Structure formats: C-alpha cells, structure tokens
C-alpha cells in the first residue's frame, strides 16, 4: 500500500479515474436537464449551447490538466491558487468549488426519491410541508436522507471502494443509454426536431448557463490527485479525455430525445429522456432508463462527495478551516470529518423537496464559474511568474489559451447576474450564494486562535523530532 505525504492511500488507477470523472459529469443531468435545455433553446439550440459551453469547459479542462500534472497534490484548485495568487484568493477559489460540489450532492439527494417515484408510484406519503407550493413527503425525504448516509459511509470506507462501485454503476448507465441510442436509429424522426431554435441568441445563452452544472465532475481528478497511482502527465490526459466523453454523451442524448419526441411531448414531459425511451421501446425501455438514471445519481453523488471532502481537507490543512477537518481515519486513511461535513448537508437537503433542484443547479453553477475564473487566473500567473516550472503536461496554446479561458469564464459567470438570460432567482438562489460565502468569510477572517481550533499549513509544518530511542538510518 502506497501512502501519500498527507497520509492518504495512493490506490486509484486509470479506469478508476475515468469512471469517477465521467460518472460524475453525466450523473442524473442527462435524464432530468435535457428537457430544460430544449425548452430554453430548442432541439438544435440545445446542441449548439452544449457545444459552445462544452468548448469552454474543454479549454478550462486543458488548463486544469497542466496544473494537475504539475502539482498532483490533494485539493486541486486550492494548491494552484495558493501558489500563484496567495491565501485569500485560494480560499475563495476552493470555497467556491466546494459550494458547487455540495450543490450537486444536495441535488442528487433530492433527485433520487423523485426518480424512484416513477418506479414506485405509491411513494408520496406523510406530507411534511410545502416549498414554493410543492409538497415535501416524509417517505421520499427519508429515502434521500438514508441514501446520503449510505454513500457517506462508503466514502469513509476508502477511495478504492468508492472507485470500484463507481465503475460498476457507470457500466449500468452506459447500457441504459444504449437503449435510447438504438431506439433513435429504429424510431427517430427528424421532423420531431422542430422547432430547431427557440428564443434566438438569448435562448442559447440561457441554455448555456445549464451546461457548467452538467459538466462539473472532471475537477474531481485534481481534488484526488494525491490518491492517484499514475504518472503526472497521464493524469492530465485522462482529465481532458473524460470531458470529451461527457460532451459526446450529452449530444447523443439531445439528438435522441429531439428525434424521438415531438416538441409538444417534450414540453409536458417531466423526464423527457425517460419518455423518449418509452416512445421507442414502451414501458420496459422506460424502466431500463430509470434504472440508469438511478445509477447516474449514485455516480455523481459519490464522485462529488469524494472531491468535495478532499477540497475541504486541503483548506483545513492550510489553516483556512477548522482543524477537525484534517482528521484522517486511522484504518481507512480517508478524510473522515470532511466527508461527514458534506454528508450531513446532503442528508438534510431532501427535506427541501424537488422544487430545490433548479436552485441547486443555478447557484452551484455560479459558484463553479467563480472557481474557474480563479483557476484560469492562477494558470496565467504561473505561466508568467514561473515559466521554468516543471510541467509534465503542457496545455496547447499556452498563455493565449489561458486568456481565452479567463475571458470565457467571465462571460459565463455574467449569465447568472441580474438582467441576464439565466439570472439567479431572488431570494432562494441568491440567499444560497450569500449564506455560503458569508459563512465561509466568517470562518476565514475570524481570529483563528480564538475559535474552532485551526491548524497551520500541514505542508509547512516541521517534521516531528524522533524519540531518543529511535535510530536514524
């Protein structure tokens, strides 16, 4: 067993990395968000939005690939921004990415009982309250909470176990997706694609705002880089490959749904991807896809709990967050308290009900783009300040690529501002953003010696002196 410098197991192989990253990116979004894309932009407009926003994500992925290969340490964004821009920028970069990850974990915890309701129509008993006019039922919320406890437990047991489960579930997703693709070839009709574009450029921009949330997941690789047992250059290559795979997957899904369902059918469908498969293969096909959807929820949920906990661990190790988040499980060598922190948030989120799904998508996407802005700025700063830095993987285009990534990220984040096509909703979505960043700022700026037990940067601590009876070789 190989142990990293922070006491984590280096056990992840090539197939594990692809399963974690690709599985996290496709998640449940390929089932639940496709109809939202088409509603905003039309069938071809959704494909254009995916290609444009996906192209931006590929550029950002290339930047991540260079940084990850150069600094394969736990925490990803935290490490890059700390080295290039300093502690405060690093805090807000990492806190933003954790916000995005927590949003996905919460999204999946709410989505799971919603999917199971399609498999088991009898669900929906014990109304607790209503959120925005939508009822929250005890049995559905309990299912989401118990699933959160289970996935948290799996992650505590070890990254290797999480990766194995991830690989198995990704296979289930791919097989269920094949039912849709084959149905496209047998039953698809091009006439169903009309209207091709809805809302013109504004519609495409509004659809583009959903894509970052759909594509978040490749950045799990940098978070867990210290646990990967591969050459640094290979890590960067796998990161970019996983992004390309996810873009291809989403475009195939969009074409399939567009050709299998009419515009009217898509507009009334709660889960257009499921309805499209049912149109091709009947109820059996829909059930197969729903099983794949449940699998997608589990892969995304598992991946982001893993990635988010590593980011929290890295922040705590640098003295930005409470010391208890640096605790490593004595047996499983996982950041147990960081995992529990996100796990608890995921456990309570199902009690917000399905109305919260789109809140998590929009607010999480905003946080994600904030992190991407700081990462691309870090890439540029290191290119200028440390041109001779060892870079096992070099992103093509160099500084020009970095400037394009920075400008594109700024453009994407502007889509969520007031007056823009995908502006965050007040009060729900903006309150999520404000509370998260206000709470983080309190933890960061409050005198750390007075409260919460902070620790200095573990990477800067001097090694402990050996006891007198220990021999030095």
Please list, residue by residue across 99-125, b when 16 or more beta carbons sit within 10 angstroms of its beta carbon and e when fewer do: bbbbbbbbbbbbbbbbbbbbeeeeeee
Q: Closest Cα to residue 395, out of 376, 412, 411, 415?
A: 376
d(CA 331, CA 25): 30
What is the rounded average pLDDT of the residues 316-345?
88
Could you give the angle at the alpha carbon of 291 between the alpha carbons of 287 and 296, nearest 5°? 140
Residue that is written with structure tokens 């598992």 in the block: 302
pLDDT digits (tens, 9 = 90+) for 1-58: 555 454 555 567 778 778 878 887 887 778 878 888 888 899 999 999 999 999 989 9
Query: 3-state DSSP call for residue 7?
Result: coil
Average pLDDT for 366-381? 92
- Span 180-186, average pLDDT: 83
Query: Taking 90 as the threshold, does the pLDDT of residue 401 lie above it?
Result: yes
CA distance 379 to 77: 10
The answer to whether 218 and 20 are in contact (CB under 8 A) is no
pLDDT higher than threshold 90 for residue 382: yes
Q: What's the mean pLDDT when you consider all of the chain?
A: 83
pLDDT band at 452, cuts 50/70/90? very low
The mean-pLDDT minimum among 104-118, 139-153, 321-335, 437-451 falls in 437-451
**How much of the chain, in percent, has pLDDT values that exceed 70?**
90
Which residues make Cβ contacts (< 8 Å) with residue 258, sequence separation at least 6?
A: 38, 43, 44, 46, 192, 193, 266
- Residues in Cβ contact with 353 at an 8 Å cutoff, skipping those fewer than 6 apart: 110, 130, 131, 134, 135, 136, 141
Most confident range, picked from 28-32, 61-65, 224-228, 451-455: 61-65
| Residues 43, 258 contacting (CB under 8 angstroms) | yes
pLDDT of residue 105: 87
Report the distance separating Cα 381 and Cα 373, nearest Å. 12
Residues 424-447: pLDDT tens digits? 888 889 999 999 999 999 988 875
Pick the CATH number of 14-460 from 3.30.9.10, 3.30.930.10, 1.20.1740.10, 1.20.1440.230: 1.20.1740.10
Greater model confidence, 78 or 143: 143
HSE (side-chain half, CA atoms, 13 Å) at 192: 20
pLDDT at 286: 84
Specify the pLDDT at position 59.
92
pLDDT class of 74 with cuts at 50, 70, 90: low
Residue 473: which residues within 8 A CB-CB, separation 6 or more?
none
Indicate the helix (H) or strand (E) that contains 136: strand 134-137
Say whether pLDDT at 466 is over 50.
no
Helix H or strand E segment including 339: helix 336-348
Q: Which of 2, 105, 54 is nearest to 249 (CA)?
A: 54
- Candidates 155, 455, 164; CA nearest to 334 is 155
pLDDT > 90 in the chain, percent: 28
pTM of the model as a whole: 0.79
- Distance from C-alpha of 334 to C-alpha of 4, rounded to nearest angstrom: 11
pLDDT of residue 10: 58
CA pair distance 17, 158, nearest whole angstrom:
15
pLDDT of residue 453: 46
Rounded to an integer, what distance in angstroms lies between the CA atom of residue 40 and that of residue 26? 20
Between 198 and 159, name the one with better pLDDT. Answer: 198
pLDDT in tens, 127-142: 888 887 788 889 999 9
Whole-number pLDDT of residue 455: 45
Rounded CA-CA distance 112/122 in Å is 15
Q: What is the mean pLDDT of residues 205-218?
A: 84
Q: Contact at 8 Å (CB) between 265 and 275?
A: yes
Q: What is the DSSP string of 92-120?
A: HHHHHHHHHHHHHHHHHHHHHHHHHHHH-
329 vs 166, which has greater pLDDT? 329
78-87, 161-170, 194-203, 350-359: lowest mean pLDDT where? 161-170
C-alpha–C-alpha distance, residues 312 and 317, integer Å: 9
Say whether pLDDT at 454 is over 50.
no
Q: Residue 459 — pLDDT band, cuts 50, 70, 90?
A: very low
Confidence class for position 315, pLDDT limits 50, 70, 90: confident
């Amino acid at each position: 067993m190989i142990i990293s410098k922070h006491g984590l197991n280096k056990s992840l192989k090539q197939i594990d990395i692809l399963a974690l990253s690709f599985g996290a990116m496709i998640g449940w979004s390929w089932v639940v968000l496709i109809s939202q894309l088409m509603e905003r932009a039309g069938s071809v407009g959704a494909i254009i939005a995916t290609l444009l926003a996906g192209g931006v994500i590929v550029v950002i992925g290339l930047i991540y690939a260079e940084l990850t290969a150069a600094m394969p340490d736990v925490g990803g964004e935290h490490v890059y921004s700390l080295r290039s821009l300093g502690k405060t920028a690093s805090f807000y970069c990492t806190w933003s990415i954790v916000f995005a990850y927590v949003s996905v974990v919460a999204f999946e915890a709410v989505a799971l009982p919603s999917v199971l309701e399609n498999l088991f129509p009898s669900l929906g008993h014990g109304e607790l309250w209503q959120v925005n006019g939508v009822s929250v039922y005890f049995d559905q919320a309990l299912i989401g909470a118990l699933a959160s406890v289970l996935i948290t437990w799996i992650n505590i047991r070890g990254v290797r176990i999480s990766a194995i489960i991830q690989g198995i579930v990704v296979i289930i997703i791919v097989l269920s997706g094949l039912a849709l693709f084959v149905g496209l070839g047998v039953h698809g009709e091009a006439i169903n694609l009309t209207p091709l574009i809805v809302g013109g450029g504004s519609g495409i921009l509004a659809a583009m705002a959903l894509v970052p949330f759909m594509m978040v997941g490749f950045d799990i690789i940098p978070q867990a880089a210290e646990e990967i047992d591969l050459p640094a250059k290979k890590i960067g290559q796998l990161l970019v490959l996983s992004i390309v795979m996810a873009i291809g997957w989403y475009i195939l899904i969009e074409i399939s749904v567009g050709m299998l369902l009419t515009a009217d059918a898509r507009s009334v469908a709660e889960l257009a991807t499921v309805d499209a498969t049912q149109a091709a293969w009947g109820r059996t096909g829909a059930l197969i896809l729903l099983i794949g959807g449940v699998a997608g929820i589990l892969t995304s949920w598992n991946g982001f709990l893993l990635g988010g906990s590593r980011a929290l661990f890295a922040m705590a190790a640098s003295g930005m967050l409470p010391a208890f988040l640096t605790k490593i499980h004595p047996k499983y060598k996982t950041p147990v308290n960081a995992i529990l922190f996100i796990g608890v948030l995921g456990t309570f989120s199902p009690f917000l009900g399905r109305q919260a799904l789109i809140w998590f998508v929009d607010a999480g996407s905003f946080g994600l783009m904030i992190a991407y802005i700081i990462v691309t700025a870090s890439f540029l700063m290191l290119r200028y300040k440390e041109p001779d830095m060892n870079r096992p993987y070099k992103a093509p285009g160099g500084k020009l690529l970095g400037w394009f990534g920075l400008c594109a990220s700024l453009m994407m984040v502007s889509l969520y501002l007031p007056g823009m096509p995908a502006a965050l909703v007040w009060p729900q979505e903006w309150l999520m953003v404000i509370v998260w960043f206000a709470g983080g700022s309190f933890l960061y700026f409050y005198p750390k010696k007075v409260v919460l037990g902070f620790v200095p940067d573990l990477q800067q601590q001097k090694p402990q002196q050996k006891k007198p009876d220990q021999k030095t070789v």
